[in-house]
Amino acid sequence: MEEIRPEDIGAIVKPEPLKEFCQKVLLKLGVPEEDAYITADVLVTADLRGIFSHGVARLRRYINGLKVGMMKARPEVKVVRETLVTATIDAGAGLGQPVSYRAMKLAIQKALDHGVGFVAVRNSNHYGIAGYYAMMALEHDLIGISSTNADVLVVPTFGRKAMLGTNPISIAVPAGKERPFVLDMATSAVPRGKLEVYQRLEKKMPLGWATDEKGLPTDDPGLALKNLTERRGGGLLPLGGAGEEMGGHKGYGLALAVDIFCGVLSGAAYADLVYPRDEQGKPLPSNIGHFFGAIRIDAFRPVEEFKAAMDDLIRRLKESPKAEGQTRIYIHGEKEFEAAERFAREGIPLDKKVVADLKAIAQEFGVEFPA
């Protein structure tokens, strides 16, 4: 979960009006109503859960992609291969959120019918927070899995050129009386959005998040982002940081595994083949890949027994001895669930620069900003 300092808040907006604003903007760009709603819902859900780097701050990215034709407002989406428990979908270079929502729905249905379901997607775009799709399985008492490859931002261990994406993984598991376990993590030390947040706040970032063009650690988020944009070298470090001493090679391995499932297995692009450009430097469709899974718990054991065991596991962890100075042990997803409840009640805090951009978007498209 990410934090916004009180002095950096530009507006506090209720979730539904913010969602309606994003949907109206996307409708102006020719996106079908249902697709616009799904995309807006994913964006606002990210902000509700305190993942501001993947919330409405990303709306401009989709506007630009639709304008230049890198993303198609009305893509031809088709299932290109299917079995009882698997499918591969071509997203037609459309927005990543609508196809991902429907792919996860298909994986869930296959799991309900046959015990497990796995769906790969190719020729897609940025899909928002991975956890949105994994959590879709929870209402069916299923385990949900979601991952995606992404724009080239991460240097491999011992490398100095970005070759992999932040390649997030999310796993959502239902519990009984306790909150669900929801892992939603980048396989890099941090996602690119975290650098963007630090740049907006004009703050130095911790060493160990990214390298400069020589492959050396840097605390300047603006330099790291500029190098990534201009492809001058350097990039984000894998989870664990540089080298092998703190396990950076393990984060690198996880990122590579995601690229295999999302890129190689689906038939999408992978490594530095994603986000290609033509000879004039114009962006082409990104050909991002996603991978979704759903697992029926009662294919292994009774659901209520499983949930009771999950509750016991969670309580054992939360009630275990705390480190000196600490008062609480969290389960993955717990902070985000608490943030969502608070922001749904009080409104979502938005950074000043994000608000300025949203107001510019509002003026450009003739849509009222709901501040």
pLDDT in tens, the chain (371 residues): 788 888 889 999 999 999 999 999 999 999 999 999 999 999 999 999 999 989 999 999 999 999 999 999 999 999 999 999 999 999 999 999 999 999 999 999 999 999 999 999 999 999 999 999 999 999 999 999 999 999 999 999 999 999 999 999 999 999 999 999 999 999 999 878 788 878 878 899 998 899 999 998 899 999 999 998 888 899 999 999 988 988 999 999 999 999 999 999 999 999 999 999 888 888 899 999 999 999 999 999 999 999 999 999 999 999 999 999 999 999 999 999 999 999 999 999 999 999 999 999 999 999 999 97
Q: Which two tokens stand for residue 138?
A: 């929870």
Q: Write out the two tokens for 91.
A: 């997203």
Angle between helices 96-114 and 33-48 (to 10 degrees): 90
All residues at 6 or more sequence positions from 170 whose CB lies less than 8 Å from its CB, including other chains: 129, 130, 131, 133, 134, 135, 144, 145, 146, 147, 182, 183, 184, 185
- Residue 313's pLDDT is 98
| H and E: helices and strands count for the chain | 11, 12
What tokens does 36 get?
């616009």
Structure tokens at 289: 């890949």
Domains detected in the chain: 1-68+334-371 (1.10.1530.10), 75-189+243-319 (3.30.1370.60), 193-236 (3.30.60.50)
Residue type, 149: N
In three-state form (DSSP H/G/I as H, E/B as E, the rest C), the secondary structure along 107-172 is HHHHHHHHCEEEEEEEEECCCCCHHHHHHCCHHHCEEEEEEECCCCCECCCCCCECCECCCCEEEE
End-to-end CA distance of the chain: 23
Helix, strand, coil tally for the chain in percent (to 5): 45, 20, 35
pTM for the full predicted model:
0.94
Cβ(162)–Cβ(151) under 8 Å?
A: no
Angle, alpha carbons 85-90-93 (nearest 5°): 150
- What pLDDT is recorded for position 283? 86
